[in-house]
C-alpha cells in the first residue's frame, strides 16, 4: 500500500513525496481513510510509529475547503507539552507547504500579544497546550464554536500531568457535531472512560498491544549499588563501553534537581552533555533540543519532558538513570530510540529500592527482565551498603569528585580539628586566669527570696473579693440614663 491509496489530496501527496515517504506505517494506513471520511478515530500505537502524520495528513486534505474567521479556529489540536506542540507545528509546515493555511501555536513561555495577533488573523489550525488555550478563552480572545476537528494527542500523558479536567471542559465548549481524533500509546482505564464520554462510535485502530515496546530496541537492566555516586560511576562506564556505537543518547532522570546534578557531573568529567527540564524557559529548551537534533550535543540529560512524542529521528541509546515510577513512562522513554525501523539500545540502572518498579514494568510490557551482568541478587554487600555522604555535600547528592566517600575527607581533617580544639581550650583557660578579680564579689541577693515576705503579706485575688462583702451588684443605685429611655414596642 502507498499513500496514493489512502485518498489524500494531490497537494498533500506531493508534499509527502518531497519529504521522502512512499509507504504509510500501519497506524497511518489504518487511521487516515477513516479520518478522511469524517469518523471519530481512536488510535493506539507504540511511540515512534508515525501517529502525528496520522492526523496531520487527513486534516490538511479536509482544510483545503473553507476559510478561517477571526478568533474562530477551524481545527484544534491539544498537546501535553510545549515541545510536542511545536513539533506538530513543524509537521504542518512540512506537509502543508502547498497550502495557504494560518497556523497558531498557543504555548506557555511565549508572549500573549503575538499569539493574539495570530488569532485575530484567523487560524485554520490551532495547536495548543490546555492551560494556555483556556487562558486565551477566558480573556475573550478565542471562540471555539467553529471547531470542526478536535485532536487529543498523547492522552495518557495528559492524564499523568493532570490535564483531564481541562480536556473535559474544552470538549464541552466545542460543538457536539465535531469530529474527534484520539491518539495514545497506552490506554489506562481513566483514558478509556474519557473516550466513551467524548467519542461517538469511534473506529478503533490498534496496530500493537497497548504499552508494548518496539522489538528493534535492545533492553537491558543494570544492577547498581545504593551509594549515590555509584550510579554516576556506572553510567560513565556504560557510556565508555558502548564506544563508537553510541552516536548520541538521552539520559532520563525522575527529578529536575537530579538532572542538574548529573549534568554537572558529566561536564566535570569532560563529557559533551546538555540538560533539559521543565524549569528552563522556552527559548532555552528549544535551543537545547535543536542542538541535540543537529548533533552538536552527544548526551542530553532530561526529565520526562523529553519522554513523550519528541521526534529526534536517530537516537542510538537511551539511559534510564532513574527507574521511572510509572511503568508507562518507561515505554515512552525508550521509544525515543529505535524510531522508523532503526535499531536502538536502552539501559536502565536499578538498585534494590527500584525492584518493585522493575516488576511493574515487566508486567506492563509483557517481557522478562533481562540483566546486563547479573540481577540484584549478585550485588555484593559492599556495593549495596547504604553509605551516603554526610555534611554539606549530602544535600547535593554526593561527594564533589563522585569517586570517594565523605568519610575519607572527614578522617583527613580530624587531626587538624583536634589541634584547633585544644588550642582554643588553652586560650580560654589563660583568659579566665587573667580576668579573675583580686577580691571575690559578694553573692548577689536572690530577688525571688527577697520578695517572698512581701508576697506573703499581699492578699490573694480571691481573698480580696471575699473581704468586700458590701460591694454593689451591677450598677448599684446609680442607673445610667440611657437605660431609662422608653422604647416603643
The CATH fold assigned to 217-407 is Rossmann fold (3.40.50)
Which cell numbers in the block locate residue 246?
553510541
Can you tell me the mean pLDDT for 184-212? 83
Query: Do 3-206 and 217-407 show the same overall fold?
Result: yes
Give the helix/strand (H/E) hosting 406.
helix 406-434
For the chain, the residue count is 489
Which of 243, 277, 59, 276 has the alpha carbon at shortest distance from 151?
59
Question: 386 falls in which pLDDT band (50, 70, 90)?
Answer: very low
Architecture of domain 3-206: 3-Layer(aba) Sandwich (3.40)
- Tell me if 252 sits within 8 A of 320, measured CB to CB: yes
Comparing 93-97, 258-262, 381-385, which segment has the lowest mean pLDDT? Answer: 381-385
Confidence at residue 147, expressed as pLDDT on a 0 to 100 scale: 95
Region 212-223 average pLDDT:
85
Look at residue 125 in the predicted model and tell me its pLDDT. 96
Q: What are phi and psi of 302, to 5 degrees?
A: -145, 155
Q: Where are the domains of the chain?
A: 3-206, 217-407
Residue 45: predicted pLDDT: 80
Q: What is the pLDDT of residues 323-333, one digit of tens each?
A: 998 888 888 88
pLDDT of 279 > 60? The answer is yes
Supply the pLDDT for residue 479. 73
pLDDT at 53: 92
- Write the pLDDT tens digit of every residue in 24-36: 999 999 999 999 9
Model confidence at 105: pLDDT above 50: yes
What does the alpha-carbon distance between residue 335 and residue 183 come to, in Å, rounded to a whole number? 16
What is the pLDDT of the chain when averaged over all its residues? 81
pLDDT > 70? residue 60:
yes
pLDDT digits (tens, 9 = 90+) for 142-177: 999 999 999 999 888 888 788 999 999 999 999 999
122: enclosing H helix or E strand: none
Span 341-377, pLDDT tens digits: 788 999 999 999 999 999 999 888 877 778 988 888 8
CA distances from 428 to 420, 422, 431, 433, 436 (A): 12, 10, 5, 9, 12
Highest mean pLDDT (candidates 292-296, 307-311, 398-402, 459-463): 292-296
Which one has a higher pLDDT value, 113 or 440? 113
d(CA 36, CA 3): 13
Q: Which cell numbers in the block locate residue 198? A: 467524548
Residue 111 pLDDT: 87
CB-based contact 334:328 (threshold 8 Å): no
Q: Is it the case that residue 56 has pLDDT exceeding 90?
A: yes
**Residue 401 pLDDT:** 45
Band of pLDDT at residue 406, cut at 50, 70 and 90: very low
Instruction: Look at residues 157, 45, 32, 144 and name the one whose alpha carbon lies nearest to residue 95.
Output: 32
pLDDT digits (tens, 9 = 90+) for 422-455: 666 666 655 555 544 544 445 445 545 445 445 4
- Cell matching residue 150: 478536535
Q: Which helix (H) or strand (E) holds 213?
A: none
> Does the predicted model carry a pTM greater than 0.85?
no
* Confidence grade of residue 112 (pLDDT, cut at 50, 70, 90): very high
What's the rounded Cα separation, in Å, for the pair 369 and 352?
15
Helix then strand then coil, % of the chain, to nearest 5: 45, 15, 40
Sign of CA dihedral 104, 162, 317, 268: positive
pLDDT value of residue 17: 93
- The DSSP H or E segment spanning 197 is helix 189-198
| Residue 397 confidence (pLDDT) | 43
Amino acid at each position: 500500500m502507498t499513500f496514493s491509496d489512502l485518498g489524500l489530496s494531490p497537494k498533500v501527496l506531493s508534499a509527502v513525496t518531497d519529504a521522502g515517504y512512499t509507504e504509510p506505517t500501519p497506524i497511518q494506513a489504518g487511521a487516515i481513510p477513516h479520518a478522511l471520511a469524517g469518523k471519530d478515530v481512536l488510535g493506539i500505537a507504540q511511540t515512534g510509529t508515525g501517529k502525528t502524520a496520522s492526523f496531520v495528513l487527513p486534516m490538511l486534505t479536509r482544510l483545503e475547503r473553507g476559510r478561517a474567521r477571526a478568533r474562530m479556529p477551524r481545527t484544534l489540536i491539544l498537546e501535553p507539552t510545549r515541545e510536542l506542540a511545536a513539533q506538530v507545528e513543524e509537521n504542518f509546515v512540512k506537509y502543508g507547504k502547498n497550502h495557504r493555511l494560518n497556523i497558531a501555536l498557543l504555548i506557555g513561555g511565549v508572549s500573549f500579544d503575538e499569539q493574539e495577533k495570530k488569532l485575530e488573523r484567523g487560524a485554520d489550525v490551532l495547536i495548543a497546550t490546555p492551560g494556555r488555550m483556556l487562558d486565551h478563552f477566558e480573556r475573550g480572545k478565542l471562540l471555539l464554536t467553529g471547531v470542526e476537528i478536535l485532536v487529543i494527542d498523547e492522552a495518557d500523558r495528559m492524564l499523568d500531568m493532570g490535564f483531564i479536567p481541562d480536556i473535559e471542559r474544552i470538549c464541552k465548549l466545542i460543538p457536539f457535531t465535531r469530529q474527534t481524533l484520539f491518539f495514545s500509546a497506552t490506554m489506562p482505564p481513566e483514558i478509556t472512560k474519557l473516550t466513551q464520554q467524548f467519542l461517538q462510535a469511534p473506529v478503533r485502530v490498534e496496530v500493537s498491544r497497548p504499552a508494548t515496546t518496539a522489538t528493534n530496541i535492545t533492553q537491558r537492566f543494570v544492577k547498581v549499588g545504593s551509594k549515590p555516586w555509584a550510579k554516576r560511576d556506572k553510567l560513565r562506564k556504560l557510556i565508555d563501553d558502548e564506544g563508537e556505537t553510541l552516536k548520541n543518547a538521552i539520559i532520563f532522570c525522575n527529578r529536575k534537581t537530579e538532572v542538574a546534578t548529573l549534568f554537572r557531573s558529566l561536564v566535570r568529567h569532560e563529557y559533551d552533555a546538555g540538560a533539559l527540564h521543565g524549569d528552563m524557559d522556552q527559548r532555552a529548551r528549544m535551543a537545547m533540543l535543536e542542538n541535540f537534533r543537529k548533533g552538536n550535543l552527544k548526551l542530553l540529560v532530561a526529565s520526562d519532558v523529553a519522554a513523550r512524542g519528541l521526534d529526534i529521528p536517530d537516537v542510538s541509546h537511551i539511559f534510564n538513570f532513574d527507574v521511572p515510577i510509572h511503568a508507562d513512562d518507561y515505554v515512552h522513554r525508550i521509544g525515543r530510540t529505535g524510531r522508523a525501523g532503526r535499531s536502538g539500545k536502552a539501559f536502565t540502572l536499578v538498585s534494590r529500592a527500584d525492584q518493585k518498579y522493575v516488576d511493574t514494568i515487566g508486567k506492563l510490557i509483557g517481557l522478562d527482565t533481562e540483566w546486563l551482568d547479573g540481577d540484584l541478587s549478585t550485588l555484593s554487600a559492599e556495593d549495596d551498603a547504604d553509605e551516603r555522604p554526610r555534611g554539606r555535600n549530602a544535600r547535593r547528592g554526593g561527594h564533589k569528585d563522585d569517586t570517594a566517600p565523605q568519610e575519607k575527607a572527614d578522617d583527613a581533617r580530624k587531626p587538624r580539628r583536634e589541634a584547633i580544639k585544644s588550642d582554643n581550650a588553652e586560650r580560654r583557660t589563660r583568659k579566665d586566669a587573667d580576668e579573675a578579680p583580686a577580691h571575690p564579689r559578694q553573692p548577689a541577693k536572690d530577688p525571688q527570696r527577697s520578695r517572698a515576705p512581701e508576697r506573703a503579706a499581699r492578699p490573694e485575688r480571691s481573698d480580696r473579693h471575699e473581704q468586700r462583702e458590701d460591694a454593689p451588684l451591677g450598677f448599684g443605685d446609680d442607673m445610667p440614663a440611657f437605660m431609662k429611655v422608653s422604647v416603643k414596642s
